[in-house]
Each structure stands twice: as C-alpha cells, then as structure tokens.
A and B are shown apart, each in its own frame.
Chain A
Amino acid sequence: MNDHNISISRSQESILATNKVLKNTYLLLSMTLIFSGILAAVGMSMNLGHGAALVASIAAIALMWFVLPRTANSSTGIPVLFAITGLFGLGLGPVLNHYMAINPSIVSTALGGTGVIFLGLSGYALTTRKDFSFMGGFLMVGMLVVIGASLLNIFLQIPVLSLVSSAAVIMLMSGFILYETSSMIHNGETNYIMAAASLFLSILNMFQALLHILGAFSNND
C-alpha cells in the first residue's frame, strides 16, 4: 500500500514536471519568435545585405553550438537564446525582402503555413503521446544528407536539387517537431531553454524551406 502511494506520488510529480517544461518551453518559444520577428523587420528595413545576413546566421549557430549548452542550466541561458533568435531574425531580413519583391503573399502564406504545421504536429504529438525517440538516428542522418546536398549545390547550382533539399528539410523539421515534443512528454528533455531552442530552429528551417518552395511555384516567379 505504501509502495503504491509512493508510486502514485512519483507519477504525479513526473506529470507536473512535464507540464512545467511544456508550459515554459512554449512561453519562451513564443517570446523568442516575436523577438525574432521584430529583428527580421529591422533587418528588412535596414536593407541588410546577404553577407551581413550570413554573418548574423553564423554568429547565431556559433552561440547555439558553443555558448548555449554551457549556459542552458542557468538564467544566463535565456538572454543567450534571445541573442541567438535575434541574430537568426536579423539574418532573415534579406531573404524576406527578396520574396516580398517577388510576391508579398509568399511570405504571409509561408508564415501562416509554418504556424499551422507547427501547431498541428505539436497537437498531434501532445494528444497521441506517442514516443518518437526511435526517429533520432533517422533525423540526424537526414540532416547530414541535406547539409551535404546543400554544400554540393553551392558548386553545382542545380535548381531541382535545391527544391528537393527544401522539401526534405520540411519533412525532417516535421520529424524534429514530433521528436522534440515527444521528448518533453516522456521526460527526455527536461531543459526548457534547450527545448525552445530546438523547436525554434525547426520552425525557422521549415519557414525558410516553405518560402523557397512557394517562391519557386509562385505564379509571379
């Protein structure tokens, strides 16, 4: 009886901890998305060049690789995450200006589409409570293949390869959203800063890939 009570108490503690991680993650994610959107608007209004955008994106990735893992367990992790998402937002400026010049509805459709896909996939993972941990290896191999294809395409400049890479990115980012959400539910990811960073990156990559696909198939292109 005593063991049974302890087991119920632990299970309740685990559910409370999971809910806390989920709540903090989505709160931080929404704040970083708003901040990133503001910085993207700043980048657009400043008419930032592609070189400056590349530098901002490299700085964001460097912070994500080398600084965030060391600060994610302390309160310093939050300003670091805002710096990362702000730099990514700034880096989006020239891309958004490019698509706004082609057809402004591409940007709004990609933004709305990314939002719907993210909410749909998160809702699916949260309601079914399926464990997607089996996808870890597949997603990492997929990422490596897509990065390799993008690297190759810098030299080959094949438009179809670029489109196929964008389609693959959308499929992989869908998988990452399911994987990360399920990881929070099943107590794999207990750090809400790292979870928010991972989800932010998935949303950003999906948005950029969707922009590329919609831009390529747009009637005005």
Chain B
Amino acid sequence: MFDIKILLEKAAEITEKRIAVIMKNESMVCPEGFNLGITYEEACKKAGKNYKGWNIYMSETYGTRCFVCIGSDKYYESEATDLVMLLLNSALERDASAEAYLRKAVEGKYDAAELSKLEEELKACLPGYLLLVDNLGGSGNEVLEILVNTIDVKISITHENRIIALAVEENITEACSSFIKNVLSELLIECEAVIGGKAELAKELHDLYKNCIEALCLKHIYHLGDSVLSYDGMYGYRTAYNLDTKLKESIKERVFTAEFMEMANGELGITIEEFFKNNLNLTDTAAKLYIHRNTLLYRLDKIHKCTGFDLKRFEDSWLFKLAWMIYKEDAS
C-alpha cells in the first residue's frame, strides 16, 4: 500500500491535479489532507461520472475493486488520465499480488512448483525482517498507519488479527521500539512487536513466522514485560523451556531456599528482573529502579545470604537466571 501512496504523490505532482484512490476500507488523497468527501458506496454509484468535483474511474484488479478519482470540474477521458490509471492499476495489482504471496509464504501453503513464482513476486521486498505485531486493540488500520510511518515497511498484511510485515531497517529492534512507543502515545494501545528474523528468500518466511509465534508463547510463559521481542535474542528462554523436567526441579531446589521464595514476589523480584535486564550493571539497574547504588547492593546481598548466589558473579548469575526462568515458568 505504501507504494501506491508514493505513486499517488508522483502522479499528483506530474499532472498537477488532485488524485485519490478509494478502496473498501481505506482511501488516500493527494495532496494529503485534502477533503475527498466521497464514500466507497458513493463511488460505486458514480463511477464513470463527475461527482463532487472528482472524475471517478473504476479499477478492478486481482479481484479487488477500487476507484481512482481525479480532481476536475467536468468528466473527461484523456491520455494523461489513462496513463495515471495504468500506473495505479499496475501498482495495485503488484501490491495485491505481493500481499497474497506474502500470505501464502508465511502460512507455508504452497507447493514446490509455486516456489519460484513466490520468490519472484516477493523479490522486491527481500531481504527483510519479518515482523509480527500483536494486540492491535481493535485499531488495526491506525496501528498499520503508525507502523509504515515509523519503520521502512516493504509490504504488510493483516493475518489472524495481527499485522505481518517485511521491513528493512539498520537497527530493527530500535525501530520497533520507536513504533511501540508511537502506538502507545497516539492510540494508548500496548501492542507487541515480534522480530522473527531476517529472510533472504521467500521460502524462509514460514519458519520466521513460526519463530514469531514461539516468541509470543515464551513471552506469556515467562511473563516478559518487553514490548519488542526478538526471537534471536530469546535463546535463554528457549533453552530453559526445553530442559528436562527432572533437571528443572533439581536446579530450582539447588538455587531457591524457602526463605527466598517468600520474598521473591516483592521488591526483590523486581530487583532481580531489572538487574538481569541491565546486564548485571549496578549503576544502570539502580538508575532504572530509582534507588541508590548501595540500596541495590544491600538487596543483592540479601539474595546472596538467602540463596548462596552472588548475582554480581557471572558463575552464580547464569545459573540463578536459569532457575529464575524456571520459577516463572511454574508460576504461569
């Protein structure tokens, strides 16, 4: 859809006319902000006519009906109009077609014979990161609008009440974090962005989509507060989840004392989470918790006394982190 927007802007610039596209669920106008004042239903009735200062032309490509409107006082068909229509139709077709292929690719619903066509259709969008946006709070269109305005999205579809997108960004985690913050500020919706991984070829997209779903499951199992999840960064949780049950029990018994378990839900729990999140950095953790560094040291000392594990030592902290993940898995 982003391509059409750019194309519209170009067409409006070249023809020096107002141009709009009306689709079932969405409409776009160039110059932006210009009042279109025509609904999809009205466009259906007035196609091939001049209505409210617009010439309305119908386009039906790839099973999708849309209307191209060119600002004018009276109805006409000229070569310039034909050219704009041709360009828009081809963009719409390309877009619709690529979207359909992306859907097939993430669902893995294609056979070997279709694979080369799939690769061909999605070639322009790859390599790219597969993103999944969950918890759209019933505002899918608005969330998508914020997504394409924050991240360089090549193509996107809505699938099972989630947005799936292929994006190109130098720092995809940071870009996703900005996107989440924008959604929260604009719409007061706390959605989640999952980075499935980077795909070079279309055939990899199905596995990356599965990665996204697994990352979401791990988030729920381990009560992760993060709004941006990167599957590649979740090795620890994946390892913990796949450990043998007996081994999990023995790790828990080894690490957690009854005394510690009583305190784990309060401020000590918050401290542990933040300390791990800040890579065992005392200064950063204290700043995030708004406590003095010495208060943090006192709390860590308390954990040390209760469990025998000094979280400031790498040897102790990694086993404790594993045990902490198992403990949270049990609590879920």
- A joins B in a complex: no
